[in-house]
Amino acid sequence: MLSKFIQLATIVVSIDWLLMPPAPPSLNVWMRSLKRSVQRVLVVCVLLLLNLGLTGCGPADQPPRGVLLKALGLQIQLTQTAIAQSLELDPVGVPEVSRVRIEEQESIRLGEQRGIHLTGRFDWRLPADSVRVDSPFELFLERGERGQSWRLARPVGSSDGTSQDWITHPLPIDSL
């Protein structure tokens, strides 16, 4: 639809308005001025439509980079803690997360709340380790009721056998 509007605007701008027999010089000046004004208005309209079309292409509810880094760090930390407890070891520490690359994103429902399912890749390393690891990830994030906060959501099965239950962990506000 946008391309048809652009074509129409181009045709309208390129057509000589009002094919009339020669008019007095004062009328020609007025017609040229009117034509220029209409062209400017059409150009502004086309630019506004293009801008609206392009902003609609990006993800509207993508969490900030800081939220992604904190969520991935928390997910690693929770997994490491669970493994350490089951093996009766001390937890390793907070991982360092960097270079997050989102490959897919979709809006989902997490119970009664709005959420986002993200997949992609990221780099991370443990505090005592010098090796940086490139790993795939899958994140479920729940947006706060006012849209100002985020929570890491983790699936935990189903209490009734028909719907997914979730455990959520708040992400620090300083990551927003």
Distance CA 101, CA 151 (A): 20
- Residues whose CB is less than 8 angstroms from the CB of residue 134 and which lie 6 or more positions away in sequence, other chains included: 121, 122, 123
Tokens of 44: 């502004």
Closest CA relative to residue 54, chosen from 8, 116, 2: 2
Query: pLDDT (tens digit, 9 = 90+) per residue, 58-98?
Result: 445 678 889 999 999 999 889 888 898 999 988 777 888 88
User: What was the pLDDT predicted at 58?
Assistant: 43
| pTM of the predicted protein model | 0.62
Give the domain ranges of the chain: 2-55, 65-175
